[in-house]
Amino acid sequence: MLSVTEARERILSVFQTTASETISLIESSGRILAVDIAAANDLPLFNNSAMDGFAIRSVDSSNAAPASPLTLSVVADIPAGSAGAHYDRRTSPAGADAVIPVEHTDFNERSAGQPAPQHVTFTRIVKTGENIRLRGTDLPAGNMVLKKGHFLKPQDLGLLAMLGIANIQVYKKPRIALLSTGDELLKVDEPLTAGKIHDSNSYALAALIESANAEVIYLGIANDTRESVKSLLQKAIAENVDLIVSSAGVSVCAFDFVQDLIESNGSLNFWRVNMRPGKPLAFGEYNGKPFIGLPGNPVSAFVGFEVFVRPVLEKLSGRSDRSKPTVKVRCGEEIESDGRESYLRAKIRNENGIHTATLTGNQGSGNLLSLVQADALLIIPAGVKCVPVGQEVDAILL
Ligand code: AMP
Ligand code: MG
């Protein structure tokens, strides 16, 4: 059976990054940069004061001490937003090379509207450069700021605004068609009857797709008939999506007609992966569109998304780093596995500074509660049957 790594490589190999588009800065949080960004100007753009205070030439303060207070005349008042450039050159603040904060002078409070004093007195030496932010010290013009493929975070938007970048080129959001299959499925607001369950996968998977900053095109629930599944797949084709994701209908008994449908209108690459949960997982292409058939069991569908679909969405959206990198955690209990690559639900607690994992009870693939209670999925590699207490394993933090 195909390993997780090989299955993921096969899936990823068919996807290319989407085209780019230019959007306004305010819309760009969570999007992926499609260009490198270099600073067009210095930050800060001009020398400025880090404090409310008096700009002086530091040499003028060389004899100031508690026993010999120094009094200087105040030649100009330079409020925030003005440059002070119109002052006489001989006395100009441009000649100043330091700022003494108001708190260190005899004029240590200023209420709104009060004029600046005519003289100011202080009792210490002011060092050259004190409280001056020099032009270009935060970021010199020309320096690379953010690279193509960068995931834009709120603080990035702040920096881009500092640089005066109002519009920005990002990759288009991938468009993902989502459908559920199964005669037993009812919409969440339909009353349950004998043998029926609510379609929960649509909700979890739609939210997962959105959490990867992709767009969901929700197609609804297909019955277990070839015609019903086909009509939803046709809708996906009409929507010109980047990927079709379905849940259920890929386990051994149910698989026949889905397999036949895919193969008669495209091709099937694989339909089983050596993992737990989530062995029945189909990958192929339907009328030219990539298709991933996730398992129906809610935990299997979730794990299948994290292991296979999220990396696809990252590749489509041009993201250069992983949104959920694995971390090392220590097993707080002995863990048994069946030799397939396993993804186990665990709670992580901090034990003397070490992240320590314990399983959240019943690991059945239909038990969504134990996933809800989990902080992480522990990854037990293929071939491992037992992990002793204290051993480190990789984990995907949820
Ligand atoms: P299947 O792969 O169709 O045999 O489905 C496997 C299991 O997942 C069955 O117990 C289904 O009832 C369940 N299942 C399938 N689709 C969903 C869904 N959308 N929401 C919740 N459970 C589902
Ligand atoms: Mg089914």
Residue 111 has a pLDDT of 84
State the pairing for strand pair 326-331/243-247. unpaired
Residue 94 has a pLDDT of 60
10 assigned to some structural domain? yes
Q: Are residues 207 and 106 in the same domain?
A: no
Is the model's pLDDT at 93 over the cut of 60? no
Q: Is 213:185 a contact under the CB 8 Å cutoff?
A: no
Per-residue model confidence as pLDDT tens digits over 3-22? 999 999 999 999 999 999 99
Maximum Cα interatomic distance, the chain, rounded to a whole number of Å: 96
Ligand in closest contact with the CA of 179: 1
Per-residue model confidence as pLDDT tens digits over 279-291? 999 999 999 999 9
For the chain, give the percent of residues with pLDDT over 70. 97
Find the 221 Cα to ligand 2 centroid distance in Å: 11
180 assigned to some structural domain? yes
Q: Are residues 105 and 202 in the same domain?
A: no
CA triplet 310, 315, 319: central angle to 5 degrees?
A: 95
Is the model's pLDDT at 274 over the cut of 50? yes
Return the best residue to mutate from 201, 245, 292 for the ligand 1 pocket (most ligand atoms within 8 A of CB).
Answer: 201
For the chain, give the percent of residues with pLDDT over 90. 89
Specify the CATH number for the domain of residue 309. 3.40.980.10
Backbone angles phi and psi of 22, in degrees to 5: -105, 125
Summary mean pLDDT of the chain: 95
Burial (Cβ within 10 Å: 0-12, 13-18, ≥19) of residue 190: exposed
> What is the 8-class DSSP label of residue 195?
T
Residue 88 has a pLDDT of 42
Q: Are residues 188 and 263 in the same domain?
A: yes
203 assigned to some structural domain? yes
Final residue belonging to a domain, choices 283, 316, 349: 316
Q: Are residues 220 and 270 in the same domain?
A: yes
Q: Are residues 184 and 240 in the same domain?
A: yes
Q: Are residues 232 and 192 in the same domain?
A: yes
Quote the crossing angle between the two packed helices 255-264 and 226-238, to the nearest 10°.
Answer: 40
Is the model's pLDDT at 91 over the cut of 50? no
Phi-psi region of 375 (alpha: psi -120 to 50; beta: other; left: phi over 0): alpha
Residue 109 has a pLDDT of 84
Per-residue model confidence as pLDDT tens digits over 177-214? 999 999 999 999 999 999 999 999 999 999 999 999 99
C-alpha distances in Å from residue 293, one per residue of 163, 217, 229, 234, 271: 45, 16, 12, 15, 8
321 assigned to some structural domain? no
160 assigned to some structural domain? yes
Specify the CATH number for the domain of residue 90. 2.170.190.11
Mean pLDDT of 78-94: 62
Give the binding-site residues of ligand 1, using a 6 Å CB cut-off.
180, 182, 184-185, 197, 199-202, 247-251, 254, 295-298
Q: In the structure encoding, which two tokens stand for residue 390, read together? A: 């204290």
Is the model's pLDDT at 159 over the cut of 70? yes
Q: Are residues 240 and 308 in the same domain?
A: yes
Query: Tokens 């080129």, residue?
Result: 169
Per-residue model confidence as pLDDT tens digits over 291-334? 999 999 999 999 999 999 999 999 999 999 999 999 999 999 99
Indicate which atom in ligand 1 lies nearest the CA of residue 180: 19
Ligand 1 atom 15 nearest Cα? 296
Which of 155 and 81 is assigned the larger pLDDT? 155
Q: Are residues 56 and 198 in the same domain?
A: no
Return the best residue to mutate from 178, 183, 185 for the ligand 1 pocket (most ligand atoms within 8 A of CB).
Answer: 185
Residue 84 has a pLDDT of 64
Confidence of residue 73 (pLDDT cuts 50, 70, 90): very high
Specify the CATH number for the domain of residue 337. 2.40.340.10
9 assigned to some structural domain? yes
Residue 259 has a pLDDT of 84
Tally the domains of the chain. 4
Final residue belonging to a domain, choices 316, 334, 362: 316
Q: Are residues 31 and 166 in the same domain?
A: yes
Ligand 1 atom 23 nearest Cα? 296
Specify the CATH number for the domain of residue 32. 3.90.105.10
Final residue belonging to a domain, choices 270, 294, 316: 316
Return the best residue to mutate from 247, 369, 371 for the ligand 1 pocket (most ligand atoms within 8 A of CB).
Answer: 247
**Collapsing DSSP states into helix, strand and coil, what is residue 83?**
coil
Q: Are residues 199 and 281 in the same domain?
A: yes
Indicate which atom in ligand 1 lies nearest the CA of residue 300: 8
Find the 200 Cα to ligand 2 centroid distance in Å: 13
Q: Are residues 180 and 142 in the same domain?
A: no
Ligand in closest contact with the CA of 294: 1
Confidence of residue 86 (pLDDT cuts 50, 70, 90): very low
351 assigned to some structural domain? yes
Ligand in closest contact with the CA of 293: 1
**Collapsing DSSP states into helix, strand and coil, what is residue 316?**
helix
Residue span of the structural domain in which 9 resides:
4-18+173-316
Rounded-to-integer distance, Cα 179 and Cα 201, Å: 9
305 assigned to some structural domain? yes
Mean pLDDT of 63-90: 82
Is the model's pLDDT at 254 over the cut of 80? no
Ligand 1 atom 14 nearest Cα? 296
Q: Are residues 360 and 345 in the same domain?
A: yes
Indicate which atom in ligand 1 lies nearest the CA of residue 202: 19
